[in-house]
């Protein structure tokens, strides 16, 4: 390793991300590696930095949350050797880190840059957008959209930085009592489901949020995505579904269906919101999702 690029989300962790980036740079330089450390300053900036600066780097280290990692991976697409990523998780969910066993402690995560092994990881593309963990429509998209709206207000952003999990919980509680009358069509590898779900999650990872598992048994390296299609929107049944996810268990078939596939099409007669890796992605009437097997390589224990 001769040259490394560190992309850091300066807002992540209320300053902890910058400290972690400095620590990583110090350790890399101590081993004779030339390091360029660049902070992001707007949404999508990580992808721009990776695309412009990452092509000449042997290693690109991302310091931030799953969203920053996704942006950097998107910027590195098709860049050959620069697809090797290091990850120091400084986020609220840290889904990818939990899935791959990357330590959540920054010092331990820095050590993985030297002791870890390259691990191939599937990724996905949804309507042209790269994602690493999951895509969702229905209940979780509603929660994500509400959190995103709250974060656009300065006071809401400060609350999110301090109380990220609690903010999601509060928005989830409010969404829990709103019935989801919209129904979707879902096709998996060309086969249409007989019933029309009200919520759908297509996942590359078993982890969904912290220790939750909406799609138990999912793997980032099997070349397929797991899905959960939920039929019920009544608050008690959605609450039961969330409780079972916390227990890493599936719900009964009368509540949801589970399966696997490589290509998915979600559609509705009216525009619907969707989320990718916990970030709101806007509205669409048709969502096309495909697996990108072994699309990138991440250093993991």
According to DSSP, the β-strands at 59-64 and 3-9 are: parallel
* 110 contact partners, CB below 8 Å, separation of at least 6: 20, 23, 24, 27, 88
Q: Say how many CA atoms lie within 13 Å of 14 toward its Cβ.
A: 9
**Domains delineated in the chain:** 3-115 (3.40.50.10330), 131-293 (2.60.200.40)
Verdict on whether the full-model pTM lies above 0.75: yes
Predicted confidence (pLDDT) at residue 258 exceeds the cutoff of 90? yes
What is the token pair recorded at 141?
């998209």
Q: What average pLDDT does the segment 214-233 reach?
A: 94
pLDDT value, residue 13: 79
Q: Which helix (H) or strand (E) holds 180?
A: none
Largest Cα span, the chain: 59
137-150 pLDDT, tens digit per residue, is: 998 888 887 776 66
A 10 A CB-CB count for 293 gives: 13
Distance CA 35, CA 3 (A): 6
pLDDT for 82 equals: 45
CA 54/CA 259 separation, integer angstroms = 37
Which strand (E) or helix (H) includes residue 71?
helix 66-75
């Amino acid at each position: 390793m001769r040259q490394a690029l560190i992309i850091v989300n300066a807002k992540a962790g209320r300053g902890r991300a910058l400290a972690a980036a400095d620590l990583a740079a110090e350790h890399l330089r101590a081993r004779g590696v030339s390091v360029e450390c660049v902070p992001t300053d707007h949404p999508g900036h990580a992808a721009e930095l990776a695309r412009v600066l990452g092509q000449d780097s042997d290693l690109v280290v991302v310091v931030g949350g799953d969203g920053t990692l996704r942006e950097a991976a998107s910027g590195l697409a098709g860049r050959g050797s620069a697809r090797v990523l290091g990850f120091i998780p400084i986020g609220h969910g840290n889904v990818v880190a939990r899935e791959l066993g990357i330590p959540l402690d920054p010092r331990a995560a820095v050590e993985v840059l030297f002791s870890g092994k390259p691990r191939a990881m599937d990724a996905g593309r949804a309507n042209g957008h790269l994602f690493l963990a999951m895509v969702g429509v229905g209940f979780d998209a509603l929660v994500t959209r509400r959190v995103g709206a709250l974060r656009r207000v300065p006071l809401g952003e400060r609350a999110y930085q301090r109380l990220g999990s609690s903010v999601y919980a509060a928005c989830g509680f409010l969404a829990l009592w709103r019935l989801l009358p919209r129904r979707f069509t879902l096709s998996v590898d060309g086969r249409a489901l007989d019933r029309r779900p009200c919520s759908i999650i297509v996942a590359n990872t078993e982890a969904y949020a912290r220790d939750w598992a909406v799609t138990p048994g999912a793997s980032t390296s099997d070349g397929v995505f797991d899905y959960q299609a939920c039929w019920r929107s009544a608050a008690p049944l959605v609450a039961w579904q969330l409780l079972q996810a916390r227990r890493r268990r599936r719900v009964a078939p009368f509540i949801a269906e589970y399966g696997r596939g490589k290509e998915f099409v979600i559609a509705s007669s009216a525009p619907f919101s969707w989320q990718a890796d916990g970030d709101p992605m806007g509205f669409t009437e048709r969502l096309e999702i495909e697996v990108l097997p072994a699309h990138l390589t991440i250093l993991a224990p």
